[in-house]
């Protein structure tokens, strides 16, 4: 019954996953393919559901053990990083927080940040996103170039979350609790920010005259 519920998809799978977690933690029951089933739940479609935060929270608990195989954790870190490229900023922040926790619990994976010889091009990336089995994703041969790319994201909260992942790979710290904000909280936080300087132009003007080479005067004429 529990296996069928996990394969049902949607909220039913989420409730079944919660039940599996309780069986594993409280009764030390070994559930077959538990991590592969959890791995397969992280798809782009998850961002349109109401239980996406709950899924990230449960994944953080399932992956909290420091005795998990390195290849398994690397597959999760890579999949979460890849999904953060297509997720909304508030969802990508939660994914990157989870990636940072994985790097802190498994220091050996920090080399995925420092793989300078790995091409940062999706077509040359050996990672197989379509693979639903973590062991067959070839994540250990890849790098977390997605995190470096997101460090230049226009959303300040997302770029800061990417910087947190890079900091986790550089120093030893304690994993933090996942608290991804929703879209309304992110929008309100940006509205409350105050900037000392606001950029209005790419080139700082030197006077009232137009810059050299400016073509605007070809189409407009100032009238006295």
The model's pLDDT over 171-187, given as tens digits with 9 standing for 90+, comes to: 665 555 555 556 666 66
Q: What is the pLDDT of residues 184-202, one digit of tens each?
A: 666 676 677 776 676 677 6
Q: Which long-range contacts (CB under 8 A, 24 or more apart) does 93-97 make?
A: 93/157, 93/158, 93/161, 93/180, 93/181, 93/186, 94/53, 94/56, 94/178, 94/180, 95/56, 96/147, 96/150, 96/158, 96/161, 96/162, 96/164, 96/165, 97/161, 97/164, 97/176, 97/178, 97/179, 97/180
Q: What is the pLDDT of residues 121-149, one digit of tens each?
A: 666 789 999 998 998 999 998 889 999 88
Q: Report whether pLDDT(205) > 70.
A: no
Number of C-beta neighbours around residue 181 at 10 A: 17
Contact in structure between 134 and 127 (CB atoms under 8 Å): no
**Which has more confidence, 80 or 113?**
80
């Amino acid at each position: 019954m529990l296996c069928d519920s996990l394969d049902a998809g949607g909220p039913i799978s989420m409730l079944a996953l919660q039940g599996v977690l309780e069986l594993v933690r409280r009764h030390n029951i070994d559930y077959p393919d538990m991590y592969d089933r959890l791995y397969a739940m992280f798809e782009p479609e998850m961002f349109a559901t109401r239980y996406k935060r709950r899924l990230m929270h449960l994944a953080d608990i399932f992956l909290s053990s420091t005795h998990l195989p390195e290849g398994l954790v690397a597959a999760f870190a890579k999949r979460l990083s890849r999904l953060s490229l297509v997720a909304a900023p508030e969802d990508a922040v939660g994914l990157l927080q989870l990636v940072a926790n994985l790097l802190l619990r498994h220091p050996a994976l920090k080399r995925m940040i420092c793989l300078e010889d790995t091409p940062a091009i999706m077509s040359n990336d050996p990672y197989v996103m379509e693979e639903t089995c973590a062991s067959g994703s070839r994540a250990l041969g890849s790098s977390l170039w997605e995190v470096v790319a997101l460090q230049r994201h226009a959303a300040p909260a997302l770029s800061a979350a990417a910087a947190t992942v890079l900091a986790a790979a550089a120093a030893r710290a304690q994993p933090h609790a996942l608290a991804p904000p929703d879209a309304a909280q992110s929008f309100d936080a940006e509205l409350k920010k105050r900037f000392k300087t606001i950029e209005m132009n790419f080139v700082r003007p030197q006077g009232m005259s137009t810059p050299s080479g400016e073509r605007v005067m070809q189409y407009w004429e100032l009238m006295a």
